[in-house]
Chain A
């Protein structure tokens, strides 16, 4: 019954590797997001998709590539991982695109690059 589910929950990998994080929501929301939370708990938006269309693309290195096969799924692929990519990545979803609804967050993926 999980509303927004992310896999994997933990990811430990070496520098230079490529990895993917998957996200699925069963709420029927139109919009999905990726946020990055750093070690100081600061949250920064990375991407947003509305009905499979990219609508927000913040200043994120192009090693990060989101993909939305349908409006219930938003995956994040990261190429050539660097130490600085270590963080917790959260997927979220909301209704509409006007920003008037609260977000539902997944439980996060803790990425550790060694």
Chain B
């Protein structure tokens, strides 16, 4: 099955700075990589995803990059704001042809005003 490693586990940045969270995966057949944001006591919310046929995807202040050769993908948040403070999870499909997701252990992002 898939193994997803996520780093760092905690991240503190000053408001306005950028934040980068990195994930590695083990199954080279994985082809879909979503990122979720989870605020305390709330549901995981899909914020961006990328498929293996592209190397980068942007949505306003959020971007995801994918390196298939190295089997890692990263979340980039620019111009961070206090409301970006949350736990962020990366995920990957649990094997070829699987629709179940294997999640990383999460990164707690704190944006300091």
| A, B from the same assembly | no
List residues of B whose CB falls within 8 A of some A CB.
none
